[in-house]
Amino acid sequence: MIIREMSLTDVESVRAIADAAWRDTYSRFIPADIQEKVLKDAYSNEEMNNRFKSSLNLVAENNEEIMGYAFFSGDLSDKNVFLESLYVHPNHQGKGIGKQLLLIGLANFKDPTTLSLTVYKGNPNISYYEREGFEVVKENKGEFYGHPVVFTMMKKNLLNLDS
């Protein structure tokens, strides 16, 4: 497996992973029609082009198959890094792909001190982030296209880590 910067030719594979991962992760608490609207907007050509301009976008690839991706927002000199998205196709979860995307992504930043992210309350992957050293710092009520959700903000201190 290699971790590399995402290219325009990877966009369709990333969209397919987002679709599969969202259905696998969120179907229990976000209706399918809401998921479709969110995915359509979040992975539109315009949004993907914006990511290429403002984010570090990585993919995990094996034998020319994209298995997962991560989007890190911000300038590479930022101390406080925000993980916009981290998704691994359900068929490839549990193989350390997400952890490699995190580690290699962070290695691109100059002396980062924290890594933050937002997940939806009820996401079964919150336990993955907790195992990786993230702590819940805040919860906010919000909505997706009229559907109520709770956003869980998590943060990991990157200073003085032994792992």
**Strand ranges for the chain from DSSP E:** 2-5, 55-62, 65-73, 80-88, 114-120, 135-144, 147-157
Lookup: tokens for 104: 């290699």
Q: Which CATH number fits domain 2-157: 3.30.9.10, 3.40.50.300, 3.40.50.800, 3.40.630.30?
A: 3.40.630.30
**Is residue 138 pLDDT above 60, yes or no?**
yes
Task: Decide if 72 contacts 84 (C-beta within 8 A).
Answer: yes
Using one digit for the tens of pLDDT, what is the confidence trace for 72-130? 997 888 899 999 999 999 999 999 999 999 999 999 999 999 999 999 998 888 999 99
Task: Decide if 5 contacts 76 (C-beta within 8 A).
Answer: no
Nearest residue to 113 via CA among 62, 64, 156: 156
Using one digit for the tens of pLDDT, what is the confidence trace for 52-82? 988 999 999 999 999 999 999 978 888 999 9
Predicted model pTM: 0.91
